[in-house]
Amino acid sequence: MKTTLMHVRANVSNLQRSIEWYEKVLGFKVTGAWPPEKPNYAHFDAEKGAIFSIAEDRRVPSNGRFNFYVSDVDHLWEEIKHKAEIVEELCDTPYGSRKFTIRDLYGNELGFVKE
């Protein structure tokens, strides 16, 4: 059986504050929110790969790590290294990748890896 990852979600305590952070710091664009009258969930535009979303849930922190492939990891590093908490600075790994990791407002780790 072939399996393809289609969707990942990080839990946050404040949806609106998180949306603003993801848009301002990372340049992500919200493409949907639910329910329409008072959203507690939002997902972001993804050109390819799994959909990344956030959901307001004060009971269950996710505190996971989500890695994103990007075409120019060096450029992205220069744009956001002073806007976010750094977990791992831009580096070349022993296994051949180039990457860095930051933390969002609620402790979720976001890794960015050269595609």
Residue 22 confidence (pLDDT): 98
Return the pLDDT at 2.
Answer: 82
Specify the pLDDT at position 110. 97
User: Where are the domains positioned within the chain?
Assistant: 7-114
Strand-strand pairing, 98-103 and 109-114: antiparallel
pLDDT digits (tens), the chain, 115 positions: 787 889 999 999 999 999 999 999 999 999 999 999 999 999 999 888 899 999 999 887 778 899 999 999 999 999 999 999 999 999 999 999 999 999 999 999 999 999 8
DSSP string, the chain: ------EEEEEES-HHHHHHHHHHHH---EEEEESTTS-SEEEE--SSSSEEEEEE-SS-----EEEEEES-HHHHHHHHTTTSEEEEEEEE-TTS-EEEEEE-TTS-EEEEEE-
Residue 103 has a pLDDT of: 96
d(CA 109, CA 92): 18
The domain defined by 7-114 carries CATH number 3.40.640.10: no
Q: What is the pLDDT of residue 102?
A: 98
Q: Which pLDDT value is given to residue 81?
A: 98
Question: What does the pLDDT read at residue 4?
Answer: 80
Angle at Cα 8 formed by Cα 113 and Cα 38, nearest 5°?
125
